[in-house]
Amino acid sequence: MRSLRPLSVQYCDIATKRFICIMHTPVMKNATVLVVDDEPATLAAMSKILAPHYTVRAANSGARALQIAGTEPRPDLILLDVMMPGMDGYMVLSRLLETPSTNDIPVIFVTAMEAAEDEERGLELGAVDYIAKPFKPTVVLARTRTHLILKQARDFLLDKNEYLEAEIARRMEENQIVQNVSIRALAHLAETRDPETGEHILRTQAYVQTLAEQLKGHPRFGGIMSDHFIDLLTRSAPLHDIGKVGIPDQILLKPGKLSAEEWRIMQTHAAIGAKAIEQAEKDVEQPVEFLTLAKEIARSHHERWDGAGYPDALSGESIPVSARLMAIADVFDALISKRVYKPAISFAGAREIIVAQRGLQFDPDIVDAFVEKFDAFVAIAERYRDNQ
């Protein structure tokens, strides 16, 4: 593609008459112009004007114009007669605009009609300009060049936009990968303190996503469970127990029952995790949505529907939805998993315990969703089974 140069304009004085002579400069290498007219004389005249500067293709009917427009070399511009037998210029333009392969080709109407409403009709339909017959060569060349320049600029910007969009998408994907890896790294940090949790973060992450998807159409949750919310929720879930890094080994790994004081210290892991995430939020200049949910989950996933949970004794709807979902996911996984202080119980046994806590420990509607997706929970547990 040749770089753009301005028109070269000079004044000529022939027999005392002054008029403008335009020395036409090609706008782009091998630009193709399609001329459409049912009159052979008009086609010949247009070709004579344009051929020194562009590749000219000609069509003597609307149907033939549509055939040519869809084949290579595709025209960069179409000069289209309005008044033609059979398919007139208005119909041709409509067909061009309806076809994906031709709807970006600019069209200049060429017509002997002089009524303002005719010109307005053509422009309203999508023509980019109007040339009246009998036409002047200088006008044809100037209008042609102007609209080829505009198309060239538009195509350039479109290519740039597509490149920038692809680059933004690539960088966002990279950032997402880094973010996900960072989340998993932090979650695994908590696991190193409690090695028996194994694939716990993968299972609970999948449980939470399953519950959220099930609640999409629920009257209480439908307005919350958007695809965006579920994505954030799923990414945030692995950080629910990050606060365990602040619990002493003699408590975290104790094989027997915890004393009252030890249990009080163990309960602080919820607030410790939320505080750590809150500190991370302060280190960035703008809010990060998934950290907001991660903080909710870390702090409140041990709250109970009846208000008997910790650390804030929240109840009912005052408990964040994200934490209510994690509460069931976390308890189910704890029940079916072997720990230093207890054996694993069966899937059916875990189901019975959770159903018995409907409306007590857990949001009743989320328990119902758990029951409906119980087979999916079992499949997740089997897929990410610990090597015990």
What is the pLDDT, as a whole number, of residue 159?
Answer: 77
What is the pLDDT, as a whole number, of residue 158?
Answer: 80
What is the pLDDT, as a whole number, of residue 26?
Answer: 44
Q: How far is Cα 223 from Cα 218, in angstroms, rounded to an integer?
A: 9
What is the pLDDT, as a whole number, of residue 201?
Answer: 85
> 28-42 pLDDT, tens per residue?
557 999 999 999 999
Task: Cite the DSSP H helix spans in the chain.
Answer: 40-50, 62-69, 89-98, 116-125, 137-193, 200-214, 227-236, 249-252, 260-282, 289-300, 321-336, 347-356, 364-372, 374-383
Higher pLDDT, residue 340 or 192: 340
Q: What is the pTM of this model?
A: 0.57
Counting other chains too, the contacts that 154-157 makes at CB distance below 8 Å and 24 or more residues apart are: none
What is the pLDDT, as a whole number, of residue 166?
Answer: 78
- What mean pLDDT, rounded, does the chain reach? 85
What is the pLDDT, as a whole number, of residue 178?
Answer: 60
What is the pLDDT, as a whole number, of residue 266?
Answer: 94
**CATH 1.10.3210.10 in the chain, residue ranges:** 194-383
Average pLDDT score over residue span 59-83: 93
For 339, list phi and psi in degrees, rounded to 5. Answer: -130, 165
Question: Quick check: 116 pLDDT over 80?
Answer: no
Triad 363, 369, 371: Cα angle to 5°: 105
> 2-25 pLDDT, tens per residue?
333 443 333 333 333 333 343 444
Interacting residues of 383 by C-beta distance below 8 A, sequence separation 6+: 206
What is the pLDDT, as a whole number, of residue 189?
Answer: 62
Average pLDDT score over residue span 341-362: 95
**CATH 3.40.50.2300 in the chain, residue ranges:** 8-163
The torsion of the CA quartet 66, 72, 77, 80, rounded to 10 degrees, works out to -30
Higher pLDDT, residue 18 or 100: 100
CATH no. of 194-383: 1.10.3210.10
Q: How far is Cα 193 from Cα 337, in angstroms, rounded to an integer?
A: 17
How is domain 8-163 classified at the CATH fold level? Rossmann fold (3.40.50)
Average pLDDT score over residue span 351-363: 98
Q: Tokens 């936009």 label which residue?
A: 161
> 197-222 pLDDT, tens per residue?
558 888 999 999 999 999 998 999 98
Neighbours of 261 (CB within 10 A): 9
What is the pLDDT, as a whole number, of residue 275?
Answer: 92
Q: How far is Cα 207 from Cα 187, in angstroms, rounded to an integer?
A: 16
Residue 378's SS3 state is helix
Average pLDDT score over residue span 81-106: 92
What is the pLDDT, as a whole number, of residue 11?
Answer: 35
The segment with the largest mean pLDDT, out of 43-47, 48-52, 219-223, 305-309, is: 305-309
Higher pLDDT, residue 195 or 78: 78
Question: Quick check: 191 pLDDT over 50?
Answer: yes
Percentage of the chain exceeding pLDDT 70: 84
Average pLDDT score over residue span 83-112: 91
> 274-304 pLDDT, tens per residue?
998 888 788 777 777 888 899 999 999 999 9
Q: Which amino acid, one-letter code, is at 207?
A: Y
Angle between helices 321-336 and 347-356 (to 10 degrees): 140
Question: Quick check: 154 pLDDT over 90?
Answer: no
> 220-252 pLDDT, tens per residue?
998 899 999 999 999 889 889 888 888 898 998
What is the pLDDT, as a whole number, of residue 317?
Answer: 96
What is the pLDDT, as a whole number, of residue 134?
Answer: 87
What is the pLDDT, as a whole number, of residue 365?
Answer: 98
Q: What is the DSSP letter of 147?
A: H
Q: How far is Cα 309 from Cα 330, in angstroms, rounded to an integer?
A: 14
